[in-house]
Amino acid sequence: MTQKNLALVTGANGHLGNNLVRLLIDKGIPVRASVRNTKNKEPFVGLDCEIVQSDITDKDSLLRALQGVETFYAVGAAFKLWAKDPKKEIYDVNIQGTKNIIEAAAEAGVKRIVYVSSIAALNYTQLPTKESYGQNPDRRDMYYNSKNDGEKLAFELARKHNIELVAVLPSAMIGSEAFGSLSVSYNIINLILKKEIPVETGITLNWIDVKDVAEGCYLAAKHGKNGERYILANEKCTSIKDTTKIAQKLFPELKIKLPIAVPKPILFLIAWCMELGSKLSGKAPLLSIKDIAMFSGLQQDFDISKARNELGFNPKKPDIAIKEAMIYLKNKNIEKISVIQG
């Protein structure tokens, strides 16, 4: 039997998932938080929610987690831009996961799904880009492909099974605190503070506060139109160089230098060396050839009027989100040092 207003959040120990769980609890909504490993209770300390185990690659576990659920926030996915076997570890996981999510929701009698897609699934051939321009034609990246094809599949299956589905497309999520491990986006801010981005890559990011994205997910569940997609981002992107300038002003004592501009062939050479190192270490490279080819010079500017008008989405400006994230990370790093020294 469906419990009134019960919401399931998958990936509930992740950056967006955990913030969304907290937001829904604050709004008085009963929450079931789903994670792959229930042993790590740290992100849920003090939270009044049910914690269950499920994995998007295991349909039966999703079916169990979805019993009695009215609104399903499908947040959990493989979010990584690099893997040893990107098709198997990223693409296949996200596509099979999407199929399992919709089919399990249909079998469990779920009324509405908020499907977390990504700005990776947007078409950047016209700027500022908007939802109606369709999907990203660039097929060079397995994560991007998984978000494009996954979102398309989600809408197709939702129509087939007669379930209401709204897709939200967030950009680079940061914010004033993180629960659990640092996200990919946070890590870029961290690298700037640690002076580990020496060269200008020409890469821009569309920074957004994760709490605004969590609010956008809730608003999409409440006001989003069935079969529609909504960009949850800021209008303007910010280059790594301009993000570094914010750090310089905020923390002059760190003496952070601006990244040095180098010719593109040199960037490709640096990326090639880093990828070579990754093959030996098994760890993601700081920069890949594909990163330079796909993202150097790409402007991630958006028309967010649809989300503003239809959802009431109103994010804080990117420079504020950047400052709050930097202050949080600097304090976190200080705490880490004092624990090691203590």
pLDDT tens digits along 81-101: 888 899 999 999 999 999 999
How far is 257 from 248, CA to CA, in rounded Å?
8
Domain boundaries, the chain: 7-193+206-235+300-318
Looking at residue 256, the DSSP 8-state letter turns out to be P
- Residue 238 bridge partners (DSSP): 205
Nearest to 38 by CA among 15, 16, 65: 65
Give the angle subtended at the CA of 125 by the CAs of 121 and 128, to the nearest 5°.
85
Pick 41 or 67 by higher pLDDT. Answer: 67
- Percentage of residues in the chain with pLDDT exceeding 70? 96
Average pLDDT, the chain: 93
Interatomic CA distance for residues 174 and 206, integer angstroms: 10
Domain 7-193+206-235+300-318: assigned CATH number? 3.40.50.720
- pLDDT value at 27 more than 60: yes
Strand partners, 55: 58
Kindly report the length of the chain: 342
Backbone angles phi, psi at 106, to 5 degrees: -65, -45
pTM of the model: 0.95
Between helix 240-250 and helix 184-193 the angle, nearest 10°, is 50
d(CA 333, CA 339) in angstroms, rounded, equals 10
For 104-162, write each residue's pLDDT tens digit.
Answer: 999 999 999 999 999 999 999 999 999 999 999 999 999 999 999 999 999 999 999 99
Average pLDDT score over residue span 227-252: 97
